[in-house]
Each structure stands twice: as structure tokens, then as C-alpha cells.
């Protein structure tokens, strides 16, 4: 284990960003996102979450797939792929770190999504343990240890030091490039902090959410539960929950005519949107109830069924604080987690 004093942390960032792009939580116009590090950037390691999750780095909101040139009746296709440069993603919380596993199940399954795969391959993840969770946190429900996140390198922060531990080969390699600014450390401070954090975690109001029904009850029983109607009644059908969610991965493929060619790009889509499944002659999900149900059934029932019980939620709590009407997955788990008429 290594450490570096927080007042020298810019040296670490400078070292990390020396050869490759370093993404870390930076505040711009009042909000925090993973932005490339530059000198004088307002780095906010204290923040619990970025608004968008870290998935944006591997599965960007908008990404060009290819360019097409039209000439009379002929079409020419040029791949819009570019060779991915290596990058470091620093400051990923445990929940977001787990979300990469969830996304891997989708994008790395056959056939592999090479755009995603390339970014995964080129990205080194430096995750950061939590010490100050908020009431919206419930990652523990999904077996995530916020004090011991997954990642190539894990870092812990206490009041004056950052502790650094490589966990994978990639992590070791990265450590080598920054070793000069780090000093050796024992793990006492980290252990003490982990213990303190665990105590706080015990006070989290959502820590006891019960997921058993979603894996044990019949899919159609949950699907046909009448309480979906009241849960979804006031859903605005916006995409906020989807877009801030670290595990939502629905996308759309669209064409844009630039006047001298057509760009085919993909962008995040939301199953909460009315036009998500709409076809010219009809829409299999006509009401917001059906769209709302789909989102949560997918996260809590369909996805685990196909992926050895792994839920497509990591308990980051973003949707809890961002939903305009405060309807969210915690409420769904609480309500639907109990069988109707029980």
C-alpha cells in the first residue's frame, strides 16, 4: 500500500495524466462529472457522486458508429471507429465500479460490442472507497462493499492522505508510472477508516431492502402485480433515471444527415420514453405503466434471470435524488418486494 498527502495530490494527478487522459470528478458550472484532468480544474474527490455515472466513459451518451457517403444511388460506408487511447478513470465509487460488471454482461456477451470492449481494455479504473455515504445509498443490498470497491487500483481518503493499493495487473502497471510521487504506507489508517465507515453504513435507512421476491417469485406473478399501476401513475416518462443510472444500457441508433454525408451514431435511449417501442402500426407498450414496469422488471427480474442472479442495479441512489417526482427503484423494491395481499 502506498500513500500521498492530500496537499500534494496534484502531483499524483499530474503524474497520472502525464501519458494518458485522466478522468476524474471535476466540478464545472456547479455540477460534478468525470472530466479530463487539467491544471486548475476543480477536482471534487469529496463528492459522493457525479451526476452521470462512470458508464459514460465506456458507453458514451453519443458515439459515432460510421459515416456514409451517398452518391446518386450508391452508398459508401466508412467506419467511424477510432483507435482508443488509454485512459485512467479515477475516483469511481464502489457502486459505479460494480456497474461495469453489469454492463460487461451485456456488451461483452456474444457478439461482443467492440466499441465498448475497446474502451474497457484501454481504461484503467482507480476506484475510491466511500467514507461518507448518504441516505440514498443502498449498495450493500447488492452485496457491494463501499469501503472496498472493485477496480484496478483502490484508493482511500482520510483527512490528510490518499492511500493507494493496486489490485490487478493493470493496476500494478499504473502504480509503476506514479510510484515516484507515492510513498509506502501500512494499512492501519485504512482499516480504521473502513471500520468507521461500516458503522455509518449501519445507519443507512435503506440498508435492509429485501430482494428475495425478485429472484424467488414467478416472473409473471411480479409482472401481473396490480401495484405497478399506482407506482407508475405519475411517472413523467422522462429519461432522468435512465440517464443517471450506471447500469441502464438501452441505446438507439440514429442517422444524421450532415449535408455531405450521413453519420450513423448511437446514443442512450430510455425504455421510459413513449417512442421506445413504437412502430408505425402500433406500440406494444402503450401506457407509462407498461414502460415503467419494463424498466424495473428488467433490472430486478429479467436481468438476474439471464445473468446468474446479478441485479441490474447497484444501489448508487442517483435516481433517488434525481427523479422529478421521487419515484424510484427503492420504492419499487419496497412495494413489489412484498407479495400482493400478504
Q: 125 to 154, contacts with another protein by CB under 8 A?
A: 132-136
CB nearer to another protein: pick between 9 and 108: 108
By beta-carbon proximity to another protein, the closer residue of 4 and 245 is 245
Q: Contact with another protein (CB under 8 A): which of 10, 21, 67, 337?
A: 67
Assess 72 for contact with another protein (CB under 8 A).
yes
**32: enclosing H helix or E strand:** strand 31-36
- Picking from 332, 119, 145, 136, the residue whose alpha carbon sits closest to that of residue 227 is 332
Q: Which is nearer to another protein, 39 or 73 (CB)?
A: 73
> Which among 5-13, 65-73, 90-98, 158-166 is the span making contact with another protein, rule CB under 8 A?
65-73
Site for another protein in 214-233 (CB under 8 A): 219-220, 223, 230, 233
In angstroms, the CA 68 to CA 75 distance is: 7
* Residue (187 or 223) nearer to another protein, CB: 223
> How far apart are alpha carbons 201 and 207 in whole angstroms?
8
Q: Is 70 in the site for another protein (CB under 8 A)?
A: yes
Binding to another protein (CB under 8 A) within 22-51 occurs at: 28-31, 33-34, 48, 51
The three-class DSSP label of residue 94 is helix
For 27, the grid coordinates are 466540478
* Stretch 279-308 residues interacting with another protein (CB under 8 A): 279-286, 290, 294, 297-298, 301-302, 305-306
DSSP characters over 61-73: SEEEEEEEEEETT
Task: Give the C-alpha separation, 321 to 317, whole Å.
Answer: 7
By CB under 8 A, tell whether 112 contacts another protein.
yes
Estimate the crossing angle of helix 114-122 against helix 94-107, to 10 degrees: 140
With contact defined as beta carbons under 8 Å apart, do 175 and 166 qualify? yes
Site for another protein in 143-202 (CB under 8 A): 200
CB of 129 to another protein, least distance (A): 17
Element (H, E) at 165: strand 161-166
Distance of alpha carbon 46 from alpha carbon 144, whole angstroms = 20
Contacts with another protein in 237-256 (CB under 8 A)?
237-240, 242-244, 249-256
Position among 5, 196, 236, 338 found at the interface with another protein (CB under 8 A):
236
Does 268 engage in binding with another protein (CB under 8 A)? yes
Assess 210 for contact with another protein (CB under 8 A). Answer: no
Instruction: Answer yes or no whether residue 265 interacts with another protein by CB under 8 A.
Output: yes
Tell me how far apart the alpha carbons of residues 250 and 112 are, in angstroms, rounded to a whole number.
15
Phi, psi (deg, nearest 5) at residue 8: -110, 10
* Closest distance to another protein from the beta carbon of 341 (Å): 15
Amino acid at each position: 500500500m502506498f500513500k500521498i498527502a492530500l496537499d500534494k495530490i496534484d502531483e499524483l494527478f499530474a503524474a497520472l495524466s502525464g501519458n494518458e487522459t485522466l478522468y476524474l470528478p471535476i466540478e464545472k458550472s456547479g455540477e460534478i462529472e468525470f472530466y479530463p484532468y487539467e491544471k486548475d480544474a476543480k477536482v471534487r474527490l469529496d463528492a459522493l457522486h457525479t451526476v452521470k455515472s462512470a458508464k459514460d466513459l465506456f458507453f458514451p451518451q453519443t458515439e459515432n458508429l460510421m459515416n456514409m457517403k451517398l452518391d446518386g444511388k450508391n452508398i459508401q460506408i466508412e467506419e467511424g471507429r477510432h483507435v482508443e487511447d488509454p485512459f485512467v478513470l479515477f475516483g469511481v465509487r464502489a457502486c459505479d465500479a460494480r456497474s461495469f460488471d453489469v454492463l460487461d454482461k451485456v456488451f461483452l456477451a456474444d457478439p461482443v460490442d467492440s466499441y465498448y470492449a475497446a474502451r474497457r481494455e484501454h481504461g484503467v479504473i482507480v476506484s475510491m472507497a466511500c467514507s461518507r455515504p448518504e441516505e440514498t445509498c443502498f449498495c450493500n443490498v447488492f452485496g457491494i462493499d463501499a469501503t472496498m470497491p472493485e477496480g484496478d487500483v483502490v484508493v482511500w481518503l482520510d483527512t490528510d492522505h490518499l492511500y493507494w493499493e493496486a489490485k490487478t495487473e493493470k493496476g500494478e502497471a499504473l502504480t509503476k508510472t506514479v510510484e515516484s510521487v507515492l510513498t509506502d504506507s501500512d494499512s492501519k489508517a485504512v482499516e480504521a477508516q473502513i471500520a468507521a465507515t461500516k458503522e455509518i453504513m449501519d445507519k443507512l435507512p435503506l440498508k435492509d431492502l429485501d430482494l428475495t421476491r425478485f429472484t424467488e417469485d414467478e416472473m409473471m406473478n411480479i409482472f401481473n402485480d396490480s401495484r405497478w399501476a399506482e407506482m407508475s401513475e405519475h411517472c413523467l416518462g422522462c429519461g432522468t433515471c435512465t440517464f443517471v443510472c450506471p447500469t441502464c444500457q438501452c441505446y438507439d441508433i440514429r442517422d444524421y444527415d450532415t449535408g455531405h454525408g450521413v453519420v450513423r451514431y448511437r446514443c442512450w435511449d430510455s425504455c421510459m420514453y413513449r417512442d421506445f417501442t413504437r412502430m408505425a402500426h402500433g406500440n406494444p407498450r402503450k401506457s407509462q405503466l407498461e414502460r415503467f414496469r419494463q424498466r424495473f422488471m428488467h433490472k430486478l427480474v429479467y436481468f438476474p434471470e439471464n445473468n446468474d442472479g446479478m441485479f441490474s442495479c447497484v444501489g448508487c441512489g442517483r435516481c433517488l435524488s434525481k427523479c422529478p417526482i421521487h419515484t424510484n427503484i427503492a420504492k419499487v423494491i419496497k412495494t413489489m418486494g412484498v407479495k400482493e395481499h400478504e
